Structure 1
Amino acid sequence: MTSREDDVLAQAAVAALTGQLALAPKPGLPDPRDLDARVTRRDHCGLRWSAKALAPGLAAMAAAARRTGEPTPRLRAELGAIGRCTEHSVGLAGGGHRGALWTLGLLVAAAALHPRARGAEVAQAAKRIAAHPDRGAPRRPSRGSTVSAKYGAAGARGEARAGFPHVRRALDALAKARSAGAGEAEARLDALLTVMSTLQDSELLYTAGPLGLRHVQAGARGVLEAGGAHTGEGRAALAAFDADLHARGWSPRGSAGLLAGALFVDSLPDIRATP
C-alpha cells in the first residue's frame, strides 16, 4: 500500500516526464509541434497520455523502497518486477517511456530511501540500488544491451550503475543556464543538449551507428557553443539541428529520459517543502 509521500514522488516524476514532453523544439524528439502534423499527432498525444500510466508503478516503487529501507538485492528484484508490470500497463495506455521508467523508477526509489537527499545525492543513492542484478529479468538480451555490447557503450544499465552522470550533468546545466538569465524552457533545452552532447545513446547507435551518434553529439555541442537556446545565434543553430535530425529520422530518446530524471531530481526541494 502506498502512502501520500509515495504518491507525491510518483506524481512529481510524471510531471517531470510531461514537462520534458512539453519542450520545443527538441531535436529529433516528439514535442508539441507534432500536434500540427497529422502523421505524428497520435504519437505525441499518446506519449502524454501514457506518461500518466506510470504513476501507480512509480508510487509502488517508492513504497517498496520505503518499506525495505536500504538498497538490497531484494529491493532491486522488487523494483524490477514492478517495472515490468508497469511497462505492460503503459503499453495498454499507448506505449513508450521505457527508458524514462528505468531512470525515474530508480530515482524515485532513491528519493524514498533518502528523504533528505538532494541533487547528486539522489543519483548516488540510485547507483547503490542499480549495483544489484535483477535476477527476475528475462534471460533474452534486449536491443539496448545488444547494442551496448556491440559498441562498448554504457547503456541504460551502465548509466545507472555509474550514478547517472548525465542526470548530474543536466542538473548542472539547468543551474548554469538559469544563472545566465535563461527562461525555464530555455534552461531545460540547454540541459537536454548537454546530455545529447556526450551520451552514448544506444537507440542512436542502433539506428544511426557510431558515425550518426558522433554527428548528433557534435550538433548538440554546436548549439551550446553558439550560446544555447536563450540566445539568437543559439536558437538559429537549434532550429537547424532540429531540422537535420528530423530529416534523417534520428531520435536521441535516451537523452529525453535522462532529462526527465534530472527534472524530477530538480523538483525534489519544492515538493518536499509542500506541507
Structure 2
Amino acid sequence: MGAVSLRSGSRAAAPVLACTRLGRKTQARFAREVARLAVGSLHVELCLYPKPGLVSPVDNGSHDDMDAATFMRSLFSLRHYFKKICLAGLNDAPFSQLKQLGIAAEAAMLKATHGVNTHRGAIFSLGMLCATAGRARAQGTPMTPAALRAAMLIRWGEELAMHAAPAALPALSNGLRVAAQYSVSGAREEGALGLPSVFEIGVPAMLAARARGASMTMARIDTLFVLMAHISDSNVYHRAGPQGAHIVRTSAQRFIDLGGTAYPGWHDEALASHRLFVQQRLSPGGAADLLAASCLVLAIAALDAGQQ
C-alpha cells in the first residue's frame, strides 16, 4: 500500500493525464472551493456553542491568551495554504512538499495571532485532507470518506508513518512533549494511520446524529462529545495531565449516555460541562480540530456528489 508501488510502471501516467485534462483554470477553481470548505469547517467549529472549555464568539473558554477574533485572524491567514496544498495534491506532490507548505502556514498563523497557537493541529489534518481531495480529483476517483482515507494512505502513507516516527520528532511542541510523557497520540500519529479519529469516530458520529434527525449544529455538538470521550487529547494532557483527561472523558461520556442532543436537557448538560472545564482550565483543542476535519470530509464528499 506504499507510495512507491503507485509511482512505477504504466499506472503512474493515469493521474498525470487526468490532472492535465482538468486544465489549470479547472484545477484552480477546484482548489479554491476545497480551501473555502476547509476554512468554513474551521469557522463552524469556532462558532459552535456550548463547547466545553473552548473558544467561541460567546466566551474564551479556558483561555486567557486567545479569543474568537484571534481565531478569525488565524483562519484568514490559512486560506491560501489550503488552496496551495490542494493544488499540490492535484499535481502529485511528494510529502516533503506538503510538509513545507504546512511549515509556511504555521509561520503565517503565528504571525497573524502574535505567537498564539490556534490551529497547529488543524494545519496538519485539514491540510492533508485538502491534498487528498486534490489527489482524488486528479485521479478521477470518488471522494467518499472511505475513498479519501484510502487515497491518503496509498499516496502518502509511508511518508506519514516516517513523519510520525520518534527519530523524526524534534521535541519542540507541547504536543510532542505530552505524547512522549503520557504515550498519547497527536496529529502526526493520527496522520500516520490515516486520521482514524476522523474516519472511524468523528464522521460516523456526525452521520448517525444526522440520520436520527439532529440539526447540523446538534450533530456537531454530538460529534465533539463523542471525540472527547474516545481520544487522548494532547491539549488536555498538556494543561491538566491524566487527571484532567479523565474529567474530559467522563464528562463527555455522561453527555453521550444521556442521549446527547436527543436528551431534552442537553443544552444545560453541555453548559455544565463547559463551566466545569473552564473552572479546571481544560481545553480539548485536539477534539475541536478533529471535529473540523470531520466536517471537511463530509463537505468534500458532498461537493463531489454534487459534481457527479
- Taking structure 2 as the reference length, the TM-score comes to 0.80
Structure 1 residue 138 displacement after superposition: 7.8
Report if the CA contact (8 A) 2:145-2:301 is conserved.
no
Query: Could you say what secondary structure the match of 2:261 adopts?
Result: coil
Report how many aligned residue pairs link the two structures.
267
Structure 1 residue 274 displacement after superposition: 5.4
In the alignment, structure 2 segments of 5+ residues that lack a partner are: 1-23
Structure 1 residue 125 displacement after superposition: 2.8
Q: 2:152 aligns to what?
A: 126
Structure 1 residues 161 and 245: alpha-carbon distance in aligned structure 2, compared to 1, 3 A threshold: same
Query: Could you say what secondary structure the match of 1:182 adopts?
Result: coil
Q: Distance in 2 between matches of 1:47 and 1:149?
A: 28
Matches within 5 A, 1:64-143: 64-68=88-92, 75-94=94-113, 95=116, 96-115=118-137, 116-128=142-154, 129-132=156-159, 133-134=162-163, 139-143=170-174
Structure 1 residue 228 displacement after superposition: 0.8
Structure 1 residue 270 displacement after superposition: 2.9
Structure 1 residues 98 and 42: alpha-carbon distance in aligned structure 2, compared to 1, 3 A threshold: closer
1:31 and 2:62 are equivalent in the alignment: no
Detail structure 1 runs of 4+ shifted over 3 Å in the superposition: 39-42, 137-141
Q: Distance in 2 between matches of 1:14 and 1:274?
A: 20
Structure 1 residue 130 displacement after superposition: 4.9
Q: Distance in 1 between matches of 2:209 and 2:104?
A: 38
Structure 1 residue 181 displacement after superposition: 1.6
Structure 1 residue 123 displacement after superposition: 2.8
In the alignment, structure 1 segments of 5+ residues that lack a partner are: 69-73
Q: 1:242 aligns to what?
A: 274
Structure 1 residue 239 displacement after superposition: 1.6
Q: 2:33 aligns to what?
A: 8
Report if the CA contact (8 A) 2:163-2:169 is conserved.
no
Q: Distance in 1 between matches of 2:121 and 2:42?
A: 11
Q: 1:57 aligns to what?
A: 81
Q: 1:142 corresponds to which letter in structure 2?
A: S
Q: 1:161 aligns to what?
A: 192
Q: 1:71 aligns to what?
A: none
Larger Rg: 2
Q: Distance in 2 between matches of 1:269 and 1:101?
A: 20
Structure 1 residues 156 and 269: alpha-carbon distance in aligned structure 2, compared to 1, 3 A threshold: closer
Q: Distance in 1 between matches of 2:275 and 2:157?
A: 36
Q: 2:70 aligns to what?
A: 46
Structure 1 residues 130 and 205: alpha-carbon distance in aligned structure 2, compared to 1, 3 A threshold: farther
Q: 2:189 corresponds to which letter in structure 1?
A: G
Q: 1:149 corresponds to which letter in structure 2?
A: A
Q: What do residues 185-242 of structure 1 show as CA deviations (whole Å, max 9, x unaligned)?
A: 0011001111110111111111111121121011111101111124223323212111
Q: Distance in 1 between matches of 2:188 and 2:294?
A: 17
Q: What do residues 52-102 of structure 1 show as CA deviations (whole Å, max 9, x unaligned)?
A: 21111111111111112xxxxx61110110111111112222252111111
Q: Distance in 2 between matches of 1:274 and 1:47?
A: 31
Q: 2:181 corresponds to which letter in structure 1?
A: K
Query: Could you say what secondary structure the match of 1:3 adopts?
Result: helix
Q: 2:179 aligns to what?
A: 148
Q: What do residues 99-133 of structure 1 show as CA deviations (whole Å, max 9, x unaligned)?
A: 11111001111111113221132233334425313
Q: 1:8 corresponds to which letter in structure 2?
A: E
Identity across matched positions, percent: 28
Q: Distance in 2 between matches of 1:17 and 1:214?
A: 26
Q: 2:84 corresponds to which letter in structure 1?
A: A
- Taking structure 1 as the reference length, the TM-score comes to 0.89
Matches within 5 A, 1:206-221: 206-221=238-253
Report if the CA contact (8 A) 2:175-2:186 is conserved.
yes
Structure 1 residues 170 and 140: alpha-carbon distance in aligned structure 2, compared to 1, 3 A threshold: closer
